[in-house]
Amino acid sequence: GKRPTLFSAYARAANRYGFQTTKFAPFKKHENMVFHVNAKGESGDVPAASVQNGAAEYIVQVKIGTPGVTLNLDFDTGSSDLWVWSSELTRVSTRGHNIYNPSKSKTASKQSRSTWNISYGDGSSASGNVYLDTVTIGGVAVPKQAVELAQKMSAQFASGEGSDGLLGLAWPAINTVSPKPVKTPVQNMIDQKLIAKPLFTVKLDRGDNAGFYSFGEIDTSVTPNPITYTPVDNSEGFWMVPSTSYQLNGTTIERSDNTAILDTGTTLALIDDDAVSAIYGAIQGAKFDQNQGGWMYPASSAVPSLAFAIGDTMYTLNAADFPYGEAEDGYVFGGVQSRGTNPFDILGDIFLKSVYVVFNQGESTVGLAQRDD
């Protein structure tokens, strides 16, 4: 497939959070994802299709309706809408996508007063109407789940390959349905007691290995390392945690009052300019590329050891995940880049691959364990 550019990854995050790039310029990867779901003691594994294309995202299969259609959805801890390509779009824009058609589902019911509208900082947008239907995720059937059908979408979305929509895993505060926001599938699983514990977990892998999302159960086989819990500030709808220091080649650098969100919907790790400059200052031959809007370094240069604090615990970024992709001859883009004017760090897949994360919605905490693989 075509080589992903840093710009596409970076622009995507900038658009998503509406930040201005300072001297800098985001991106996600389709992998094989597997579901481990614990529903009232049952567990189900659902393999996800491996999609290779220029954008990178982790895609998972979800069944909507009865008898149901299977859509490949982008699971996203940085947003709270479940929106899908639907039969209400023109056929041109749905080419290459699985679509949800409520008229073919026995369990669909239209919410006549509800609409939704998502717009991003670059002017891209999607909007439409809302149905309630049964949504099945890895063996857990969630009845009367609000499903947001795309009726209109801007060209940026319509030209995208890969996912057939998005499933948000953040907090209800940032759901865009009006007049009244709707619950996410996870919130419904918790409220309807469809899962054993009020949490979901994420293990993102590199390469073609299978990762998974689990609902209701923690998989203790992922790592022998302890899971350490940190309170979440969900006031802005995100999984936001304190991240008040980082380590560069063993030296701890304080960043008082700094916060970070854990976002599976962003590929890169986006942090403040001072930290970015210090990190690339420790790499032989690193340079900032104005055209691509990001830092690159010679492929032959050693990458520094790097760790970020989540709460009181340092988590090491696996050096294998630091390079994001090939740049110009002999250079690679770094997976850690600037957050620009954004007021908090955005720790995306580049960081999340190094840890196993428990998102405990019932207790408003996140638990992280360092992975050794």
Is residue 310 over pLDDT 60? Answer: yes
Last residue of a domain, one of 186, 215, 244: 215
Range of the domain at 238: 228-370
In a domain, residue 223? The reply is no
Torsion, Cα 149 9 267 239, to 10 degrees, reads: -60
In a domain, residue 319? The reply is yes
CA of 303: how far to CAs of 24, 70, 284, 291, 331, in Å?
A: 20, 41, 9, 23, 13
CA of 255: how far to CAs of 102, 206, 249, 271, in Å?
A: 49, 29, 16, 11
Structure tokens at 190: 């918790």
- Residues designated catalytic: 76, 263
Last residue of a domain, one of 215, 242, 267: 215
In a domain, residue 264? The reply is yes
Residue 24 and residue 116 share a domain: yes
Residue 251 and residue 199 share a domain: no
Residue 116 or residue 24, greater confidence: 116
Tell me how far apart the alpha carbons of residues 219 and 329 are, in angstroms, rounded to a whole number. 42
Is residue 189 over pLDDT 50? Answer: yes
In a domain, residue 261? The reply is yes
Q: What is the mean pLDDT of residues 264-283?
A: 95
Residue 32 and residue 160 share a domain: yes
Q: What is the mean pLDDT of residues 206-216?
A: 79
Residue 205 and residue 347 share a domain: no
Minimum mean pLDDT among 174-178, 213-217, 363-367: which range? 213-217
pTM value is: 0.88
Minimum mean pLDDT among 94-98, 108-112, 257-261: which range? 94-98
Structure tokens at 366: 């996140």
What does DSSP say about strands 109-119 and 82-84: parallel, antiparallel, or unpaired?
Answer: unpaired
Q: So what's the pLDDT on residue 118?
A: 87
Q: What is the mean pLDDT of residues 72-91?
A: 91
Residues 6 or more apart whose Cβ sits within 8 Å of residue 308: 243, 246, 247, 260, 269, 271, 314, 315, 317, 345, 347, 351
DSSP-based three-state secondary structure for 24? coil
Residue 275 and residue 205 share a domain: no
Residue 332 and residue 237 share a domain: yes
Is residue 60 over pLDDT 70? Answer: yes
Percentage of the chain with pLDDT > 90? 65
DSSP-based three-state secondary structure for 97? coil
Is residue 365 over pLDDT 90? Answer: yes
Q: If you ran DSSP here, which 8-state letter would residue 22 be given?
A: S
The β-bridge partners of 298 are: 331
In a domain, residue 133? The reply is yes
**What are the φ/ψ torsions at residue 20 (nearest 5 degrees)?**
-90, 140
Tell me how far apart the alpha carbons of residues 162 and 54 are, in angstroms, rounded to a whole number. 10
In a domain, residue 1? The reply is no
Residue 332 and residue 310 share a domain: yes
Q: If you ran DSSP here, which 8-state letter would residue 197 be given?
A: S
What does DSSP say about strands 251-254 and 269-271: parallel, antiparallel, or unpaired?
Answer: unpaired
Residue 241 and residue 98 share a domain: no
Residue 192 and residue 68 share a domain: yes
Reference 32, options 22, 46, 14, 12; nearest CA is 46
Reference 37, options 185, 145, 182; nearest CA is 185
For the chain, give the number of residues: 373
Residue 298 and residue 324 share a domain: yes
Q: What is the mean pLDDT of residues 88-99?
A: 84
Residue 315 and residue 239 share a domain: yes
Q: What is the CATH number of the domain that holds 100?
A: 2.40.70.10
Residue 292 and residue 155 share a domain: no
In a domain, residue 50? The reply is yes
Minimum mean pLDDT among 152-161, 189-198, 227-236, 320-329: which range? 152-161
Last residue of a domain, one of 174, 192, 215: 215
Q: So what's the pLDDT on residue 138?
A: 81
Number of domains in the chain: 2
In a domain, residue 365? The reply is yes
